[in-house]
Structure 1
Amino acid sequence: MSATPETAPVTAPDAESGPARRHATLLHAPRYRGHSYGDNHPLGIPRVSLTIDLIEAYDAVTPGEMAVTRKAMPAELEWLHTRDYVTAMQRAEALGKVFQRYRDRHNIGNFENPFFAGFFSTPATATYGSIQGAEVVLEGGMAFNPAGGMHHAAPDQARGFCYFNDCALGIMRLRQSGARVLYLDIDAHHGDGVEAAFADDPDVLTVSLHMDTEYGYPFQGGRIEDTGQLGNAVNLPLPKETNDTEFRSAFSRIWEAARTRWQPDYVVVQAGTDALLPDPLGKFGISTQCFLACIDDVIETSPRHADGTPKLLVLGGGGYHPLALARCWTGVWAQLTGRDLPALLPEAGQVLLREVDWDMDEEEEWYDNLFVSRLDADRSGPVRAELEQRLERLFCTHPLLRSPG
């Protein structure tokens, strides 16, 4: 990455004395309206387009709040990714196929990371959305890139449905200003690609709450003991069926300690929704309102620009239940812009969701509510001893979180 001299906005001494100023930019592109990964892939569902349509059904966005993004240039992708990998992605799209040597070397063109129309252009556009979002934040705003959050991609390989690591590239854009960054990942899967990208950067802290990798992808790493080369990684693997009470308790303790002890200039949040109960690939049991309460905490307590706007970039991520995802990300956008949306979905939104071809969980007791309300039944419960023990171990052993002495 080549550094670009730039002065980050200065936070006024009293910028955090009152409620956060709520205004943000929503990044989007027309190409997200097509399903990218194919009918038999977990990501072969409407996600970003459905979210934007539901936001518009609520009349919760103005043209001035939206920005169309472009494809990332190869030189931008190469801040992290190898030239050979970027070239392989471009060539596969141009030729309409993936050569076997690219499959073997770069893990592309298989079921996990399939070939599809827009094979290079779609992930490159999502990636620039995160770079552009970082620039919005550097200029004094907040930004939401729901197409981003592809946190597994490695420099020379696609991994876990992720072709380019937009999270890392957005952070790199912030780092070009000399800023200190805290990356917070609440996707159900460990943010391994981002952690690896900044293993030797003393000014980036990665924090990930995720499914234990003994039972969830990527099936390695993400342990409490994995603190990064510089003590700049915080990992909490969570047990199956983690409920609202447990997630909020763990999140609140870790976010408060990491934020106050790390003292970041900017915050980047990966807000994958696969931790929600309906998600077919997640193993947790948390509600939409629990998820949104965590995002609200981040908005209110992140470092701020001089006018009180949080220095915050929010990215999408995992999420394999289109209805649960669109409801949740609509709530995230509302929080970023200070809109108080009714829980009851507008009639146009109900129609929109019922038109989605999705009947995977129609026998579940909560299924009908997905089309009526953007919130869920309360999913509070006891905090199990297993989670308490993990938190205790994390706070006793991590070099950043443990108490002095």
Structure 2
Amino acid sequence: MRSKDRISYFYDGDVGNVYFGPNHPMKPHRLCMTHHLVLSYDLHKKMEIYRPHKAYPVELAQFHSADYVEFLQRINPDTQHLFPEEMAKFKLGEDCPVFDDMFEFCQIYAGGTIDAARRLNNQLCDIAINWAGGLHHAKKCEASGFCYINDLVLGILELLKYHARVLYIDIDVHHGDGVEEAFYFTDRVMTVSFHKYGNLFFPGSGDVKEIGEREGKFYAINIPLKDGIDDTSFTRLFKAIISKVVETYQPGVIVLQCGADSLAGDRLGCFNLSIDGHAECVKFVKKFGLPLLVTGGGGYTKENVARCWTVETGVLLDTELPNEIPDNEYIKYFAPECSLRIPTGHIENFNSKSYLGTIKMQVLENLRCIQHAPSVQMQEVPPDFYIPDFDEDEKNPDERIDQHTQDKQIQRDDEYYEGDNDNDHNMDDV
């Protein structure tokens, strides 16, 4: 085990200022809430804080089609009515609306995950965190499930330059379909997704029988769950499967998507997980001592998302957080009790022991088809993407920065704004 993990944390206050529109469940503002909770517990003092670079269109096109990236860059709320065919082709509209600063929002969250991967590749940290990332539904040529750019795929492509095998783990309540699809035919990435499946639940994929194809056969693992799964069942299954996966696949690096919509009480979720149960998965993955890239993902009850990712930042820093939330810009959201932990849910658990046992047996059976860790011939490492020099703002995010600049980056004045621009809307806090 490493003596002390070096942790890089990526955050740009602008990412929380965008607004998907009234009644839309995705509230990027939850990222500001998370960040201020992290600050209020003084966790930033134990990490290196970086503002990510804004990913260049040419970087986004490492996975996404160039015409899709170009359209995202060009479209805005005032002009979208002029492009009905492209809007339909690229699946923009209701779930994935066009909003102000949409492309910049994508550049920031994708830039964070790409930078996180590069720091890990260059052994500048042991764990890299980008809570703004984890948008796992976006496809090569289309938006899906509130996701426009798939930062996870871009981060994994970056990691593949230095690692023969990358393990991707997803604990969002929704199936990590975009990431699975991107690597469905390769053995260099193993995708493991724990999610709700059935009853037309979005995105409708993720059956245990979906295992990958061609060279990727047996390298996609799906754990389809039913409503109401609790901490005990979830963590027991998670630990049994993940320990076997790591032992069999022997990854060089792990990417962990921590979607918080699998928590009890989520507006779009249907599980009974407590924050401690969710965080137990993070703790377990950390124990393998492998380089680790951690992202956010879904999560639609904002104050619980902020609680969860703050607790998990603490877990990654080996820091136990007091239950009483310290005063911060967003304290009113955590009132009246202002405590970090939330009660578990009361949805009936439809995951019987025999159902979970069968799923586990099928997954372990598939893993046995990979007799030993696959040997991947390592080619020469391709260079990091060449990005031309621009101005001072675009300087290399990997360079260490002095304390004054770092402080300025953590607490920018424009991150503190009064009130929350979505409070008037009836879908909030449902």
> Please, what TM-score do these two structures have when normalized by structure 1?
0.84
- List 4+ stretches of structure 1 deviating above 4 A: 378-383, 397-403
Number of residue pairs the alignment of both structures matches: 363
In the TM superposition, residue 236 of structure 1 has moved relative to its aligned partner by 0.4
167, 175, 178: which one aligns with 2:152: 167
The equivalences for 1:141-180 within 5 A come to: 141=125, 142-180=127-165
181, 187, 193: which one aligns with 1:196: 181
Q: Mark the CA change 1:224 to 1:255 in structure 2 (over 3 Å): closer, same or farther.
A: same
- Aligned pair 1:49/2:32, yes or no? yes
In the TM superposition, residue 265 of structure 1 has moved relative to its aligned partner by 0.4
In the TM superposition, residue 242 of structure 1 has moved relative to its aligned partner by 0.4
SS in 2 for 1:130: helix
Q: Would the aligned equivalents of 1:188 and 1:274 in 2 still touch at CA under 8 Å?
A: yes
191, 208, 216: which one aligns with 1:206: 191
In the TM superposition, residue 338 of structure 1 has moved relative to its aligned partner by 2.5
Cα distance in structure 2, aligned partners of 1:263 and 1:297: 16
SS in 2 for 1:120: helix
Provide the residue aligned with 2:416 in structure 1. Answer: none
Provide the residue aligned with 1:392 in structure 2. Answer: 361
Provide the residue aligned with 1:102 in structure 2. Answer: 86
Q: Mark the CA change 1:402 to 1:179 in structure 2 (over 3 Å): closer, same or farther.
A: closer
CA offsets per residue over residues 354-378 of structure 1, 9 Å max, x none?
A: 248xxxxxxxxxx95xx42212346
In the TM superposition, residue 178 of structure 1 has moved relative to its aligned partner by 4.2
- Aligned pair 1:232/2:215, yes or no? no
Cα distance in structure 1, aligned partners of 2:197 and 2:371: 21
Q: Identity percentage over the alignment?
A: 31
Cα distance in structure 1, aligned partners of 2:343 and 2:4: 30
CA offsets per residue over residues 84-118 of structure 1, 9 Å max, x none?
A: 1001101104965362122111011x110001111
Q: Would the aligned equivalents of 1:273 and 1:318 in 2 still touch at CA under 8 Å?
A: yes
In the TM superposition, residue 148 of structure 1 has moved relative to its aligned partner by 0.3
- Aligned pair 1:133/2:110, yes or no? no
In the TM superposition, residue 200 of structure 1 has moved relative to its aligned partner by 1.9
In the TM superposition, residue 135 of structure 1 has moved relative to its aligned partner by 0.9
Comparing 91-100 with 206-215, greater Cα deviation is found at: 91-100
Q: Output the amino acid matched with 1:128.
A: G
In the TM superposition, residue 394 of structure 1 has moved relative to its aligned partner by 2.6
Q: Mark the CA change 1:401 to 1:378 in structure 2 (over 3 Å): closer, same or farther.
A: farther
Any unmatched runs of 5+ in structure 1?
Answer: 1-15, 304-310, 357-366
Q: How large is the RMSD of aligned CA atoms in angstroms? A: 2.3
Provide the residue aligned with 1:296 in structure 2. Answer: 283
Cα distance in structure 1, aligned partners of 2:56 and 2:266: 33
> Please, what TM-score do these two structures have when normalized by structure 2?
0.79
Provide the residue aligned with 1:338 in structure 2. Answer: 318
SS in 2 for 1:234: strand
- Aligned pair 1:352/2:330, yes or no? yes
Cα distance in structure 2, aligned partners of 1:51 and 1:328: 8
265, 273, 276: which one aligns with 1:286: 273
Q: Would the aligned equivalents of 2:89 and 2:142 in 1 still touch at CA under 8 Å?
A: yes
Cα distance in structure 2, aligned partners of 1:345 and 1:387: 36
SS in 2 for 1:163: coil
Cα distance in structure 2, aligned partners of 1:20 and 1:149: 28
Provide the residue aligned with 2:244 in structure 1. Answer: 257
- Aligned pair 1:321/2:282, yes or no? no
CA offsets per residue over residues 210-259 of structure 1, 9 Å max, x none?
A: 0014442101x211111001221000001110011110111011110111
Comparing 293-302 with 315-324, greater Cα deviation is found at: 293-302
Cα distance in structure 1, aligned partners of 2:343 and 2:6: 29
In the TM superposition, residue 40 of structure 1 has moved relative to its aligned partner by 1.5
Q: Mark the CA change 1:118 to 1:32 in structure 2 (over 3 Å): closer, same or farther.
A: same
CA offsets per residue over residues 240-295 of structure 1, 9 Å max, x none?
A: 10011110111011110111100000000001000000101111001000111110
Cα distance in structure 1, aligned partners of 2:48 and 2:323: 22
Q: Mark the CA change 1:47 to 1:316 in structure 2 (over 3 Å): closer, same or farther.
A: same
